[in-house]
């Protein structure tokens, strides 16, 4: 593992690499935190309650800590959304509580201009509240008093019930933004680290190493392994910082996030190797990387939610790996498990295969 | 034979980089590979090292076929590449350690060999410094330390003295001889014929990928002993002068290098007075005149019609 060890040693000594690896994501996340904490966002939720029962009151009260609740008429919703007086409009239809108690499948209509980071936690909270209500209705077996008592216990009460639902109390908007910048930094770092292969070629040490009893595949494997380890170190360091220094909400499973980002680091490395192989020199590599990475992270949703982009760009964003990792991260942050992101992870692995093929497609002979 | 190349052919598309080359090198030799830049020396070396695939012929090193035993053979070879191939961001010690580890050295043996190689090249005191701080000669010496620390049976030195000061060059040439005395066979490539002449026992001259002559120094020089070489220092350059001298009976070749005329003439042509006449008639003053003994440069010039440094 000589090549592996010395590659790590060389990268860790390079100030430029360290800045790309750690300072860039930390800097961006600090900026995000300053923006999020600088202006605490108070969401306005407009509610139209046609049912007006004990359950709907409990439900509206429970929304209280998610934003400012405004009672409005249904025909005001569109105007207030457009004038930004409310961010979310909810309509509870007549007979909703009865439908819940009788185990039917009633719907609360929710209106927003775009489903952004701000509204997603609330809509997820509503889904959870409804799911909990249905469980309680099933236990109450149609008895409205028992049902109301159960709801009351659920809202005020025991930890046992509370723990059954993951915490969506804190907005994960800042976490998602932070992850966006981490994803960008991972791409930049992997290209910068892969540049060490280019440096070896330009400095002729690549040629010299291959005159030793070392096969090309051993050399590449150890280089790739060292990049992978360093990318994990980058992710873990940034995670620790996000969780313990910035006190960000990292969702219910840090492990799942790490797994998703591990898959993405394979994509990053394959991307870096492909770019290194296709570039003629380090200059070209440095010029190419922002040209490719910036559009990738912009389309993928690192800087803003993908949903606010025009339809054509959203469709286009499907062909960049950043989209799929950010979708995975968002899903994990909002409580979904690894099984629910297998498609996204599969797509990411496909990207890495394509990039690796691009990287190895060129040259069968070593140029001296 | 430690190395046996038979009818080797290497093509790059339409360019014939190595053209039917056959070379045999015995154990314990310092073998010179002489040729101008672009003659095919580096391609030949890359082929010997298994880095470049060849199209025809065969290579045997240590009595083993290269294609079948490449990995095993490489363990016993040390290469000093033409370009500096050291890590500028690792210390001198780490550079040697890195290559030592690649050749499988570990533990105390590794430490001993690092110290030995750095002492051998006079860099032990600078072991903690990164090569960025080194002079050109020191970098070249580190380049050598990385190649010899695993005690290879065969050391290939590809133009190891390019671009360095005379003192470092002498140090390197001394170290080549020392390494040979310590038991390594050495292939030394250069376009500096005086270096090859000084240290090599057997020499092959390559041009345009072809082996144009091989043998001992004396054998090669005897190839041109039927000629006389005249070096004349002149006061000024007159471009009609070369043409005028070429017309003198017996003059085979005439070239101008700065204010120095190099004339190759048939032996016993008795044309010296005629040559001087032509020069003086053109109002050019003769500052000095020397009848040169045959050199490898002369051999090359005679065989190819051009200088090694062209």
B190-199 pLDDT, tens digit per residue, is 878 788 888 9
Kindly determine whether residue B104 and residue A213, on different chains, have CB atoms separated by under 8 Å: yes
Q: Using a CB–CB cutoff of 8 Å, tell me whether B182 touches chain A.
A: no
Q: CA B117, CA B149: separation in Å to the nearest integer?
A: 5
What are the tokens at B83?
């370009």
Are residues A286 and A204 part of one domain?
yes
B71 contacts A215? CB cut-off 8 A: yes
User: Long-range CB contacts (< 8 A, 24+ apart) of A295-303?
Assistant: A295/A320, A296/A187, A296/A320, A296/A321, A296/A322, A297/A180, A297/A183, A297/A184, A297/A187, A297/A322, A299/A323, A300/A180, A300/A183, A300/A324, A300/A325, A300/A326, A301/A180, A301/A326, A302/A180, A302/A181, A302/A183, A302/A184, A302/A326, A303/A180
End-to-end CA distance of chain A: 24
Token couple for B210: 């072809």
- DSSP designation for A308: G
Q: What is the pLDDT of residue A164?
A: 37
Please tell me whether residues A211 and A297 are part of one structural domain. yes
Cα gap B117→B124, rounded to integer Å: 8
A156 with A100, same domain? yes
Chain A residues with beta carbon closer than 8 angstroms to that of B71: 213, 215
A205 and B90: CB-CB below 8 Å? no
Residues A12 and A113 both lie in one domain: no
User: A107, A137, A163 — which closes off a domain?
Assistant: A163
Find all residues with CB under 8 Å of A328, minimum gap 6, and list them.
A260, A341, A344, A345, A348
CA distances from B188 to B45, B209, B297 (A): 10, 17, 16
Residues A333 and A211 occupy one common structural domain: yes
Residue A2 with chain B: CB contacts under 8 Å = 98, 101-102
Name the least confident of A5-9, A131-135, A353-357. Answer: A131-135
Predicted local distance difference test score (pLDDT) of residue A157? 59
This complex has an ipTM of 0.76
Query: Which tens digit of pLDDT belongs to each residue from A163-175?
Result: 334 443 445 667 7
Contacts of residue B25, defined as CB under 8 A and 6 or more positions apart, other chains included, come to: B1, B2, B3, B4, B31, B185, B187, B202
User: How many Cβ pairs closer than 8 A exist between chain A and B?
Assistant: 65
Residue A309 forms part of a structural domain: yes
CATH number of the domain at A86, please.
3.40.1710
pLDDT > 80? residue A155? no
The least confident of A30-39, A173-182, B136-145, B244-253 is A30-39
Does residue A259 lie within any of the structural domains?
Answer: yes
The total domain count for chain A is: 2
Would you say residue A367 lies in a domain? no
Which residue of chain A has the CA closest to B146?
A: A208
Judge whether A224 and A273 are in contact, CB under 8 Å.
yes
Last residue of a domain, one of A115, A132, A163: A163
Residues in A closer than 8 angstroms to B53, CB to CB, are 365
**Whole-angstrom distance, CA of residue B229 vs CA of residue B267:** 9
Q: Which of B143, B151, B142, B152 is nearest to B74 (CA)?
A: B152
A151 in the same domain as A87: yes
- B54–A contact, CB cutoff 8 A: no
| Short-list A363, A351, A212, CA closest to A278 | A363
- Find the closest chain A residue to B73 by CA distance: A213
Q: Which of residues 73-112 of B touch A (CB under 8 A)?
A: 74-75, 77, 79, 81, 83-90, 94, 98-99, 101-104
**What's the burial of A273, exposed, middle or buried (CB within 10 Å: 0-12/13-18/19+)?**
buried
Cβ–Cβ gap B46/A214 under 8 Å: no
Asked whether residue A111 falls in the same domain as residue A141, the answer is: yes
- DSSP class of residue B224 equals T
Q: Do B51 and A6 touch (CB under 8 A)?
A: no
Give per-residue pLDDT as tens, B242-276: 888 988 988 888 888 888 888 988 877 788 889 99
Least confident of A32-36, B36-40, B123-127: A32-36
Task: Please judge whether B53 and A365 are an interchain contact, meaning their C-beta atoms are less than 8 angstroms apart.
Answer: yes
- Relative to beta strand B154-158, strand B77-80 is parallel
Q: Which residue of B lies nearest to A211 if distances are taken between CA atoms?
A: B49
Domain shared by A239 and A122, yes or no: no
Spatial contact of B29 and B186, defined as CB atoms under 8 Å apart: yes
Same domain? For A209 and A241 the reply is yes
Burial letters B160-180, b for 16+ CB under 10 A, else e: bbbebeeebbebbbebbeebb
Q: Which domains does chain B have, with CATH numbers?
A: 3-220 (3.40.50.300), 226-293 (3.30.70.100)
Instruction: Give the residue from A130, A163, A196 where a domain finishes.
Output: A163
- Residue span of the structural domain in which A135 resides: 44-163
Question: Do A30 and A105 have their domain in common?
Answer: no
Q: How far apart are CA A168 and CA B117, in angstroms?
A: 64
Quickly tell me which residue has 């140090």 as its tokens: B171
Length of chain A: 368
Per-residue pLDDT at A222 = 93
Percentages helix, strand, coil for chain A (3-state, rounded to 5) are 70, 5, 25
The answer to whether residue A316 is domain-embedded is: yes
Option in B51, B83, B103 nearest A210 (CB): B51
3-state SS assignment for residue B203: strand
Give the residue, B175 or A362, on which the prediction is more confident: B175
Tokens of residue B47, six digits? 């082929």
Interface test with B, best of A201, A208, A219, A282 (most B CBs within 10 A): A208
Residues A28, A49: one domain?
Answer: no
Residues A136 and A241 in one domain: no
Provide the residue count of chain B: 310
């Amino acid at each position: 593992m000589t090549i592996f060890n010395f590659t790590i040693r060389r990268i860790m000594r390079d100030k430029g690499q360290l800045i790309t690896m750690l300072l860039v994501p930390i800097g961006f996340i600090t900026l995000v935190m300053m923006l999020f904490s600088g202006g605490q966002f108070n969401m306005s939720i407009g509610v139209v309650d046609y049912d007006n029962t004990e359950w709907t009151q409990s439900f509206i009260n429970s929304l209280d800590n998610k934003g400012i609740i405004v009672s409005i008429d249904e025909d005001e919703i569109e105007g207030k959304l457009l004038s930004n007086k409310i961010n979310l409009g909810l309509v509870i239809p007549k007979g909703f509580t009865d439908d819940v108690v009788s185990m039917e499948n009633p719907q609360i209509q929710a209106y927003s201009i775009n489903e952004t980071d701000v509204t997603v936690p609330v809509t997820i909270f509503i889904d959870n509240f409804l799911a909990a209500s249905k469980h309680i209705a099933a236990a109450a077996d149609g008895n409205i008093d028992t049902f109301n008592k159960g709801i009351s216990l659920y809202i005020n009460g025991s930890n046992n019930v509370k723990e059954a639902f993951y915490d969506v109390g804190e907005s994960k908007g800042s976490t998602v933004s932070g992850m966006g910048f981490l994803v960008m930094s991972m791409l930049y770092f992997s290209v910068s680290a892969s540049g060490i292969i280019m440096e070896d070629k330009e400095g002729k040490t690549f040629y010299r190493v291959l005159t030793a009893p070392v096969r090309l595949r051993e050399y590449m494997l150890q280089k790739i392994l060292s990049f992978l380890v360093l990318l994990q170190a980058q992710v873990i360091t940034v995670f620790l910082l996000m969780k313990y220094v910035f006190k960000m909400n990292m969702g219910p499973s840090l492990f799942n996030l790490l797994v998703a980002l591990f898959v993405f680091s394979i994509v990053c490395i394959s991307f870096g190797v492909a770019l290194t192989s296709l570039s003629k020199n380090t200059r070209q590599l440095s010029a190419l990387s922002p040209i490719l990475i910036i559009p990738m992270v912009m389309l993928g949703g690192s800087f803003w939610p993908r949903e606010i982009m025009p339809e054509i760009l959203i469709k286009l964003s499907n062909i960049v790996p950043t989209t799929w990792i950010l979708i995975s991260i968002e899903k994990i942050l909002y409580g979904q498990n690894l099984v629910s992101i297998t498609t996204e992870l599969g797509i990411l692995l496909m990207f890495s295969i394509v990039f690796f093929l691009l990287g190895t497609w060129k040259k069968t002979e070593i140029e001296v | 034979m430690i190395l046996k190349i038979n009818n080797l052919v290497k093509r790059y598309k339409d360019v014939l980089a190595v053209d039917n080359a056959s070379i045999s090198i015995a154990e314990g030799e310092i073998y010179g590979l002489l040729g101008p830049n672009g003659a095919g020396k580096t391609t030949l070396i890359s082929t010997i090292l298994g880095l470049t695939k060849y199209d025809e012929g065969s290579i045997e090193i240590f009595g083993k076929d290269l294609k079948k035993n490449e990995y095993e053979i490489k363990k016993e070879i040390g290469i000093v590449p033409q370009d500096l191939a050291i890590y500028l961001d690792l210390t001198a010690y780490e550079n040697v350690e890195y290559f030592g580890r690649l050749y499988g050295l570990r533990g105390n043996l590794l430490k001993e060999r690092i110290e030995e190689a750095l002492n051998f090249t006079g860099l032990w005191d600078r072991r903690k410094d990164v090569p960025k701080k080194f002079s050109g000669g020191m970098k070249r010496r580190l380049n050598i330390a990385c190649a010899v620390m695993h005690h290879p049976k065969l050391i290939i030195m590809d133009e190891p003295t390019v671009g360095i000061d005379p003192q470092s060059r002498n140090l390197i040439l001394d170290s080549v001889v020392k390494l040979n005395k310590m038991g390594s066979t050495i292939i030394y490539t250069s376009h500096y014929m005086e270096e090859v002449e000084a240290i090599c026992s057997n020499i092959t001259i390559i041009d345009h990928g072809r082996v144009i002559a091989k043998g001992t120094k004396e054998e090669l020089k005897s190839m041109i002993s039927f000629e006389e070489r005249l070096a004349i220092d002149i006061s000024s350059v007159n471009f009609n002068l070369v043409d005028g001298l070429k017309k003198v009976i017996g003059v085979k070749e005439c070239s101008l290098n700065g204010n120095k005329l190099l004339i190759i003439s048939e032996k016993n042509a008795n044309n010296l007075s005629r040559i001087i006449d032509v020069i003086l008639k053109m109002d050019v003053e003769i500052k000095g005149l020397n009848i040169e003994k045959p050199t490898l440069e002369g051999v090359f010039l005679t065989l190819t019609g051009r200088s090694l440094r062209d």
